[in-house]
């Protein structure tokens, strides 16, 4: 999505890239650049050049370079071979670009797993991007609107269908539960389908729960309890018939399984946990 949007601003990015590259290619230019940085009393000291294999390194390069825009302008006045200096208008556009890319950068770092996140975080990050795109798509600034137009088109294409893994990961966060899905889906999907997607998530959650109940029901423990219970019944009421014992087992089964609400119902019926 980002790469698609950056095609709109490739000239601006190229000027910043060439500026950084021009300075880093020569020790004398780098020394001159450092002297100018000191004259402007800037805390930052070094430039960052993007890595071709990581899109978010473009964000890092731009976010770093914009701190030196006064230095670049002074260098252009003193070094006539330096012809890549971005204009004031380009710097203004770069600043807006950085604000948008910052959200994508955060999301990339979270989902790519640098800090071993769990899936309950993912839906919130995708929702954050959707809010960002919708907000800037309505911007009166033609540059900003044009930048996010392609991104929004790609987002709607990629997220046209519900991602159950992200949704259920959020529901299983006790701070969010179904509220996470209800809030995010209302924003992410058209009005005619978002409720259907909410029901699909809930149905899938129940299906998964039933599957786990089947897989991990404590059969051995039930047999042990039943044997213990049967022994107790035999010792206290010797007159129990096989038919009555069978009926008692059926009553216990009905009482402990079907008449009780499932853990999913208990979990969803409780309010969200507020830490």
- Residues 49-65: pLDDT tens digits? 888 778 889 999 999 99
71, burial (CB in 10 Å: exposed 0-12, middle 13-18, buried 19+): buried
CA atoms of 209 and 265, how far apart (whole Å)? 11
Tokens representing 239? 């007159």
Tokens representing 133? 């795109």
C-alpha separations of 42 from 5, 66, 108 in Å: 31, 12, 29
Of all helices (H) and strands (E), which one includes residue 30? helix 27-39
| Banded model confidence at residue 113, pLDDT cuts 50, 70, 90 | low
The mean pLDDT of the chain is 84
- Taking a C-beta distance cutoff of 8 angstroms, is the pair 5, 144 a contact? no
Q: Which of 105, 114, 126, 15 is nearest to 55 (CA)?
A: 105
Tokens representing 166? 């992200």
CA atoms of 249 and 124, how far apart (whole Å)? 47
* pLDDT(70) > 90: yes
What ranges in 40-87 are assigned the alpha helix state H?
56-65, 69-78
Cβ neighbors of 186 (< 8 A, separation 6 or more) are 194
C-alpha separations of 16 from 4, 10, 94, 141 in Å: 19, 10, 9, 22
Q: What is the pTM of this model?
A: 0.75
Count Cβ neighbours within 10 Å for each residue of 112-148 and write b for 16 or more, e otherwise. eeeeeeebbbbbbbbbbbbebbeebbeeeeeebeebb
- Residues 154-167: pLDDT tens digits? 898 888 888 898 99
Mean of the pLDDT values across residues 66-79?
94
C-alpha separations of 112 from 61, 103, 109, 198 in Å: 20, 14, 5, 26
Mean pLDDT lowest for which of 121-135, 204-218, 234-248, 253-267?
Answer: 234-248
Tokens representing 196? 């259907």
Rounded to 5°, the CA angle 212-214-216 comes to 65
* pLDDT(262) > 90: no
CA atoms of 152 and 158, how far apart (whole Å)? 10
* pLDDT(219) > 80: no
- Residues 35-46: pLDDT tens digits? 999 999 988 878
CA atoms within 13 A of residue 147's CA, in its CB half-sphere: 24
CA atoms of 199 and 188, how far apart (whole Å)? 15
């Amino acid at each position: 999505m980002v790469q698609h949007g950056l095609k709109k601003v490739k000239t601006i990015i190229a000027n910043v890239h060439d500026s950084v590259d021009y300075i880093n290619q020569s020790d004398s230019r780098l020394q001159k650049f450092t002297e100018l940085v000191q004259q402007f009393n800037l805390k930052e000291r070094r430039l960052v050049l993007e890595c071709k294999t990581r899109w978010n390194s473009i964000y890092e390069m731009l976010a770093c370079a914009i701190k030196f825009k006064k230095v670049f302008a002074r260098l252009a006045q003193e070094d006539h071979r330096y012809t890549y200096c971005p204009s004031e208008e380009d710097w203004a556009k770069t600043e807006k670009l950085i604000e948008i890319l910052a959200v994508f950068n955060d999301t990339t770092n979270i989902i790519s797993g640098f800090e071993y996140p769990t899936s309950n975080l993912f839906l919130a990050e995708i929702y954050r991007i959707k809010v960002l795109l919708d907000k800037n798509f309505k911007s009166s600034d033609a540059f900003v609107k044009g930048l996010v137009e392609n991104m929004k088109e790609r987002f709607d294409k990629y997220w046209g269908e519900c991602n159950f893994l992200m949704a259920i990961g959020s529901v299983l966060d006790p701070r969010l539960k179904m509220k996470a899905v209800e809030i995010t889906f209302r924003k992410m999907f058209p009005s005619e389908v978002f409720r259907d997607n909410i029901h699909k998530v809930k149905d899938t959650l129940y299906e998964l729960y039933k599957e786990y109940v089947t897989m991990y029901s404590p059969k051995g423990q039930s047999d042990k309890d039943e044997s213990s219970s049967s022994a107790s019944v035999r010792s206290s009421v010797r007159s129990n018939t096989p038919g009555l014992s069978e009926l008692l087992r059926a009553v216990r089964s009905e009482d402990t399984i079907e008449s009780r609400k499932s853990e999913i119902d208990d979990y969803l019926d409780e309010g969200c946990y507020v830490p």
